[in-house]
Amino acid sequence: MRGYINKSEMRMFLIFGAILLPMAFLCFQQELSLGIISSYPLFIILVLMLLGANIELPVSTIRTKKTQDLQRDAATLEEVYSVPLVKDISSSMKLAFDTVITLNVGGFIIPFAVMLFLIIFQPDFVGLEIMLIMIVAATLLSDFVNGIGIVMPDYIGLIAVPFALIFAPGNAASVIFVSGIGGILLGNLTGLLMFDKENKGSAFINLGGVGSFKAVYVTAIVAALISWFV
């Protein structure tokens, strides 16, 4: 993700890496899948998502407000979110950010491509319907944190699990991935369009990165593991 990796971020990578170890065994045994995506491609996707978590591709720029309270809270926010916020603030004396909007490779581009693949080659209208619920939930539960960007609850994707198990038990893994990932990523885009640029701002807004990568990756892991149980 943007900036550097602190202890909190390193802990996240270690936890996700530890989860991937037993999943590697399950994939070797052909126990996991996402519908038409079988075990080996699924495991490669999960590994690439984790490896791509620190790669951001800039796509646009906008002007947003540099609020006065950022200077006071910068050090704390920097520690919590693992971003060089103090440097972002001090790099310019302007009262506004020339905000760079980026797409995270591991948290946006790869999962979005997989989601589109499943929608096109294994269409399931239940997944699209649940995705609408997830978009609303992501929009309502997300928040724009000054200096950081759009922040999602880490486990918001779990909202899709009971709906998928009830309405699409035979294809729950694929439905959870499509609806959960789609809801989070499109919720990011909705949040980007709706936040108040005149009163909030950040030097970077990382879609699928800082603030939402954990939510995306947890959803992907849960979707994969669900296929082992059902």
Quickly state the pLDDT bin for 92 (edges 50, 70, 90).
low
Q: Are 146 and 205 in contact (CB under 8 A)?
A: no
**122 near 36, Cβ under 8 Å?**
yes
- Range from 9-13, 120-124, 130-134, 226-230 carrying the lowest mean pLDDT: 9-13
What pLDDT is attached to residue 2?
A: 56
pLDDT per position as a tens digit, 175-184: 999 999 999 9
**pLDDT over 90 (residue 66):** no
Looking at residue 164, its pLDDT comes to 96
Instruction: Tell me the one-letter amino acid at 47.
Output: V
Query: Is 3's pLDDT higher than 60?
Result: no
Give the C-alpha separation, 99 to 183, whole Å: 24
Tell which wins on pLDDT, 73 or 123. Answer: 123
Length of the chain: 230
pTM, two decimals, is 0.93
With beta carbons less than 8 A apart as the criterion, state whether 204 and 192 touch. Answer: no
pLDDT tens across 193-206, in order? 998 888 888 888 99
pLDDT tens digits, residue range 72-81? Answer: 777 788 777 8
CA distance 163 to 70: 39
pLDDT tens track for 204-218: 899 999 889 999 999
Residue 132: φ, ψ to 5°: -60, -40
Q: Is pLDDT at 4 greater than 70 in this prediction?
A: no
Q: What is the mean pLDDT of residues 125-135?
A: 96
Q: How confident is the model at residue 6 (pLDDT cuts 50, 70, 90)?
A: low
Structure confidence at residue 9 (pLDDT): 76
Main-chain dihedrals φ then ψ at residue 183, nearest 5 degrees: -65, -45
Return the closest-CA partner of residue 186 out of 130, 90, 119, 112. Answer: 112
